[in-house]
Structure 1
Amino acid sequence: MFAQQKEVKKDSVIAEQLEEVVVTGQYSPQSINKSVFEVKVISRAQIEQQAGNNLADVLNQTLNINIIPSASTGKSAVQLFGLDGQYFKILIDNVPVINDEGLGNNTDLTQMNLDDIQQIEIVEGSMGVQYGANAVSGVINIITKKNSKYQWEIMPYIQEETVGGEYGLFDKGRHIQSIKVGRKISNSWYANAIYTRNDFAGFWNDKKGKSHDLNDGKRGYSWLPKLQNTAKALLTYKGDNAFRTFYKFEYFNENIDRYSEQVNPNYNPSTQTSAPIGDDLVFTSERFYHHLNFLGKWRDDFNYDISLSYQQQKRNVETFKYRIKTKEKFDVEKFEYESRKAFYSRGNFSHFLKQDSFDFQFGYEVNHIDGYASSVSGSFDGENIKRELGSYDVFGSSEIYVNDKFSIRPGARLLTSSVFNTQAAVSLSAKYIFRNEVEIRGVVGSSPRLPNYGELYTYFVDANHDVRGNENLKPEQGSSIFVHIKKGFDLTKDGTSKLLSKLSLNYLNVSDRIELTVVNQIPLQFQYINIDSYRTLGAFFNNTMNYKNLKASAGIGFAGESKVLDSKVLHNDDYLYRIQFNANAAYYAKSLGMIFSTYYKYNGPSQQFVQQQNENNETVLIRGRQSDYSWLDASVRKDFLNKKIQLTLGARNLLDITEVNTTALEGGAHSGSPSTVLLGYGRSYFFKLVYNLNF
């Protein structure tokens, strides 16, 4: 937890060492080169160069990760290995974070504020032994800062962005204000508090806002406006015998406004006047996050790391009618839409033996989730759904150091639950270093995925529909194999400039996949059952270079997906392949006090088998195709007044991507397939001004 306290000198932002210290999946914080797992790191320097405020801002340029925004809900989800947010976990300091739809899963990336972040760690592959159920495709672990070398830290900043080509001081663009106050009370105690306000005024595009009173389909916004307020507090203590403890609190509030496109003219013939009315609503999300951690040694014998967390996130909705001309609300109704309360505890215990050749770890993970979903948020037979889920896991692993070149780490977890049958997860990791310093890592792992509310409890039955959940569903089973081959090269004799090359090969399989399936033809009935499977394989090659004041990296990925859709009469399980490429570079012009950065990512065409009607009105299977597209971001940062003031200017989405053509999506029950996929709101510009009052 406390490994990331190392202060990085400002002048070394570009020439930082390749040997990062990582936390995720380790017995204790250690050099990334010593880790048996392969961990990707997004550093604080990269976050600052991109002026990233939330997780969606910085993950979009990462190879093998796709960000999927929704203009209609205001949320941004993530795909990893083609699997959605149900299959991977987002953690803060090793604790899964709650959200509207789960604990650690289905997280809205735009709700994850990065103001107190040291680095972001990404581990790909099934991590069920380390992190339990639903860690099928991997985990993203956000490591926060927990101390300072200064007695006082006072850091306010403002950030202004255009949204596409739109900007205004109050009604257009993105406006962020934040302030951090930290105090090093003594050599043992440190505390800080952070407040951030993030106002996204929506993307108007061809719409005309909430005050538009004509019934021409132009009212509202193409991307919904939302206002976020985040308050955080931290208190840490460092004692004797390597003892550490911290308490972390976060309060998050988000309002998303949705305005109806259709306007009721509300014409009064007696007065020959109209008072246009819109049917509008506001979604409000609130999150409370508490995390208490104890870390240290017991009588110099073994290490312990215990976390206790209580979290709650609820989503409320306010529906009302809005008199557009007089700006009045009436017929207001408020109710709870979705809610999650979770108690979570995790404990790791390791280093029992005082020897370098062998070590073992055991641990526990307990969580109790009390969930609620309004009948309005899903088709639940007209009733609200209230369910509790308790999970009680124990896990263990051992590290065997055969010699200084070869180590191996087997592990297993037993997952018990108040709802599902007992599950198991296993893993086997190994690392070998050849004489020429080539490192090879192999990681085999498994993880189940638990069914969600909709899959369990949906009940949508009327004269035209019969769609039902299934409380007898069993968890999906995920497994993966990863091989990583890495080699470092010295570019200069003094070893200060380096090149690191890495080749990764992977295979991931999900069986017993849950899908909505036709269970009866006449009358037509649908139900969720365990029937499908999913496979992906790929190869990724990445190079990272530090040369003097230049840091650059480039990677290419080639992946194939195969879906065995037994839930459909027509399907094809052939592998469909896709290529990705990314490159970024940062140059530190020391004499100017400036850092120039650029980030590029190419997403090649993707394919998917879809059903279509042919000329004879027969259902046939075709290969649908989504067009390729690229992201390009750039920024420059300038330091003033001995680095007390930092100004960052930049642009996102320089290639002006908004949507791409596709034939790879099927239509709904009453509509044809969409022809485009929404990706962004176009080229945007930003500036960020930071004042570091540290002493």
Structure 2
Amino acid sequence: MSIKTLHFPFFLLLTIGALGQQDSIPQEKLKEVVITGQYNPQSVKKSVYQVEVISRADIDRQAGNNLADLLNQSLNITVMPSSSTGKSTVEMFGLNSQYIKILVDNVPVINDEGLGNFTDLTQINLDDIQQIEIVKGSMGVEYGANAVAGIINIITKKSSKYKWEVTPYLQEETIGKEYNGINKGRHIQSVRVGHNINPKWYTYATFTHNDFDGFLNNKQGQNHLFNDGLRGYEWLPKDQIHAKAYLGFTPNTNHRFFYRFEFFDEETKYFNDIVDPNYNPATDTDDPIAADDIYGSQRFVHLFNAAGKFTKGLTYDFYLSYQQQTRDIESFQYRIRTGEKFDVKDFEYESRKAYFTKGSLSNFLDSDVIDFQVGYEVNEIHGYASSFAGEGMFTENIKRTLGTYDVYGSTEINIGKRFSVRPGARALFSSKFDTMTALSLSAKYDLGNGYDLRGILGTCPKLPTYEELYTYFVDVNHNVQGNPNLQPENGISAFLHLNKIFKSGDKVNFDTIFSTWYLNVRDRIELVAFLDDGLRYQYGNIDIYRTYGASLTSQMTYGNLGLNAGFTFSGVSKVLDSAELSNDDYLHSVQANGNAFYRIPKWGTTLSAYIKYNGPEYQFVTSEDLNGDPVIVRGKRDSFTSVDATVSKSFDKDRFQVTLGARNLTDIKRINTNALQGGAHEGAGTSVLLGYGRSYFLKLLYKFNFG
């Protein structure tokens, strides 16, 4: 049975469950605690860091299936999709995914390009997530190299009030105007089963299938016969399977152990827009063929965690993880009329194996005044590239190893009841580079009357990743090469946050945050384009990057109404050291967002709306004047606004949930830009594909809870 035929059985399962159960279900309330960067889990207000929390309720209101769905509306965060690869990465304060670590339960996530960085957000499933914690600013002491702009830590669910939980859901979504329920649109099926074996043991398993059938727009798909550039898809189709399992053991209130397993499989299809008519003059017939590829990624994750405290208060936290991600490719010639494949080449293209362990000890003195934390972090990445990847450039498979071996420590001092300070340092030892250090100083001061002031000053080196050093991705469609001569980057960041919390009774809550920042990255690594032997990209240390800015965000809840709004202003200065011409002026941009939700308890209904404005972005690019001489001009990427909206309705005492929504109501597909290197006179005008237009979705979820 094809996995796509599961749509109807899932719908039957949801419907039967909705009609079958009638007993009431208690509501599970989660404590507002954060773990990211903390010695022990604690409330957001007590944290020395400014931690932004996206709750499970926030995820459900947006009907987010993966991290790309969810972060699109966040301030100072930009999701950067690629229609040619199907991947989506994240930018924070103008710094791309190289500078942002994405973690699951405090452990960096492996992906096709690295460990923790370069993460494809569409490969991070949210079905078992309790909350997401975001810390903006350098976190090099706590989380090592490459956490220059900040971290995004995904916290999975680890407990339940029920003996059994069975939660299936089905989600159908249009891709722009394209949908037919079978091979057009987006189709998601998922089921989660959790079980409290006894008071000490808890386990769960999830399975999710996400079928994205691609965005044609003006293209004509796989079976288009003519060589007119219209074959294929504007946004590539891809199919994902995600399976997870968890086993937790809590022998008492002082200790907790868990093991988590994850399997991920993704298939992305590339259909060449060049069609060979394959004309036969003897018979005056043609048999059109095209050179197509199917890219596959598979990920395995094993994670063990032990955490708790001993009788005298000493707290420990230990992680051990093995992760593997492979990238394979099936290249073939495709007879368009008959659907026949021939000249098939199927091989493992690249692979990464990562060994990771991290441990810490804290609370040595069991004191409310002073605490210490010491720890270590070790990771080794073993990489492989097939000889077929070189298109004849080399004849043997390539294997490389890159390791980092860190030790770190910090102390948190509470000077009175209002002032806390945390200095810290980390030594980074590498199998390839000289020893480097990361330093930080964080502080929190309670000003009284609901005001809190937090500051973070830190350095964070960015080590070249395995991808930047050793990748060799060369075929008829790509030429991206690593550079083993890269040097580490050095980054410094300073953040200041002023919070004001106001409460009036049990109904009214205000939380306003004013933030300002400055980041400086030296010897930044980027892909450099070479035109000497065809378009070739290679990583290199080429520029300096500086940014500063300020933002104001405010959240308000009044009974069943919630309102959030934010505005940010930033300036970016970017200097290309390798260019003969450069300009280090600051280029400025703005962002604004807002969202609102309203609960109608009598109807079991929640209405939600989200809006985000991304102002114009500018970049200095090299161009030519009327005489053909090189000049520096200011390129511009146009502004755009995205709007989402959802309506969620509960039936059968909140067990059966129906969510109807719309994404990208402003119908964004392409935006104009001339902020690209090259071109003539005033820069080359072009457009960038950012979305696939206005889409609508329906999600049906049922909660079978027993005991």
Tell me if 1:443 matches 2:453: no
1:23-38 alignment to 2 at 5 Å? 23-38=35-50
Tell me if 1:416 matches 2:429: yes
1:186-201 alignment to 2 at 5 Å? 186-201=198-213
CA distance in 1, matches of 2:635, 2:511: 38
Q: CA deviation at 1:459?
A: 8.7
Q: TM-score, normalised by structure 2?
A: 0.91
Of 32, 37, 60, which aligns to 1:48?
A: 60
Task: Kindly provide the amino acid, as one letter, of the partner of residue 179 in structure 1.
Answer: V
Q: CA deviation at 1:390?
A: 1.4
TM-aligned CA distance change 1:660 to 1:236, over 3 Å: same
Which residue of structure 1 lines up, in the alignment, with residue 499 of structure 2? 486
CA distance in 1, matches of 2:71, 2:473: 36
Which residue of structure 1 lines up, in the alignment, with residue 591 of structure 2? 580
Which residue of structure 1 lines up, in the alignment, with residue 633 of structure 2? 622
TM-aligned CA distance change 1:84 to 1:11, over 3 Å: farther
Task: Kindly provide the amino acid, as one letter, of the partner of residue 87 in structure 2.
Answer: K
Paired residues of 1:517 and 1:568 also in contact (CA < 8 A): no
Q: TM-score, normalised by structure 1?
A: 0.93
Root-mean-square deviation (CA, aligned residues, Å) is: 2.6
Tell me if 1:306 matches 2:318: yes
TM-aligned CA distance change 1:615 to 1:460, over 3 Å: farther
Paired residues of 1:129 and 1:425 also in contact (CA < 8 A): yes
Task: Kindly provide the amino acid, as one letter, of the partner of residue 595 in structure 1.
Answer: T
CA distance in 2, matches of 1:378, 1:138: 35
Tell me if 1:70 matches 2:82: yes
TM-aligned CA distance change 1:471 to 1:540, over 3 Å: same
Q: CA deviation at 1:82?
A: 0.9
Paired residues of 1:379 and 1:458 also in contact (CA < 8 A): no
**Secondary structure at 2:448 match in 1:** coil
CA distance in 1, matches of 2:248, 2:466: 37
Q: CA deviation at 1:527?
A: 7.9
Q: CA deviation at 1:277?
A: 1.2
**Secondary structure at 1:342 match in 2:** strand
CA distance in 2, matches of 1:88, 1:342: 18
Paired residues of 1:51 and 1:688 also in contact (CA < 8 A): yes
Unaligned stretches of 5+ in structure 2?
1-23
Q: CA deviation at 1:24?
A: 0.7
Q: CA deviation at 1:380?
A: 10
Task: Kindly provide the amino acid, as one letter, of the partner of residue 586 in structure 1.
Answer: F
Tell me if 1:593 matches 2:604: yes
Q: CA deviation at 1:455?
A: 4.5
CA distance in 2, matches of 1:618, 1:132: 45
1:110-259 alignment to 2 at 5 Å? 110-259=122-271
Task: Kindly provide the amino acid, as one letter, of the partner of residue 451 in structure 2.
Answer: V
CA distance in 2, matches of 1:629, 1:10: 43
Which segment drifts farther, 470-479 or 586-595? 470-479
Q: CA deviation at 1:530?
A: 3.8
CA distance in 2, matches of 1:585, 1:60: 16
Which residue of structure 1 lines up, in the alignment, with residue 651 of structure 2? 640
Which residue of structure 1 lines up, in the alignment, with residue 523 of structure 2? 512
CA distance in 2, matches of 1:60, 1:121: 15
Paired residues of 2:232 and 2:273 also in contact (CA < 8 A): yes
**Secondary structure at 2:232 match in 1:** coil
CA distance in 2, matches of 1:460, 1:249: 29
Q: CA deviation at 1:77?
A: 1.2
Q: Percent identity?
A: 57
Which residue of structure 2 lines up, in the alignment, with residue 567 of structure 1? 578
Which residue of structure 2 lines up, in the alignment, with residue 678 of structure 1? 689
Of 300, 304, 316, which aligns to 2:328?
A: 316
Output one character per residue of 1:473-495: Cα deviation in whole Å (capped at 9) or x when no partner: 321011100000001112x3x24
TM-aligned CA distance change 1:506 to 1:243, over 3 Å: same
**Secondary structure at 1:46 match in 2:** helix
Output one character per residue of 1:68-118: Cα deviation in whole Å (capped at 9) or x when no partner: 111111111111111111111100000001000100010111011110001
Of 326, 343, 365, which aligns to 2:377?
A: 365
Task: Kindly provide the amino acid, as one letter, of the partner of residue 609 in structure 2.
Answer: T
Which segment drifts farther, 479-488 or 384-393? 384-393
**Secondary structure at 1:239 match in 2:** strand
Of 104, 112, 123, which aligns to 1:92?
A: 104
CA distance in 2, matches of 1:319, 1:202: 19
Of 548, 551, 556, which aligns to 2:562?
A: 551
**Secondary structure at 1:264 match in 2:** coil
Task: Kindly provide the amino acid, as one letter, of the partner of residue 300 in structure 2.
Answer: F
CA distance in 1, matches of 2:178, 2:692: 10
Which residue of structure 2 lines up, in the alignment, with residue 430 of structure 1? 443
**Secondary structure at 2:148 match in 1:** coil
**Secondary structure at 1:247 match in 2:** strand
Which residue of structure 2 lines up, in the alignment, with residue 473 of structure 1? 486
Tell me if 1:538 matches 2:549: yes
CA distance in 2, matches of 1:512, 1:379: 31
Q: CA deviation at 1:268?
A: 2.5
Which residue of structure 2 lines up, in the alignment, with residue 388 of structure 1? 401
Unaligned stretches of 5+ in structure 1?
1-8
Task: Kindly provide the amino acid, as one letter, of the partner of residue 605 in structure 1.
Answer: P
Tell me if 1:343 matches 2:355: yes
**Secondary structure at 2:59 match in 1:** helix
TM-aligned CA distance change 1:379 to 1:104, over 3 Å: farther
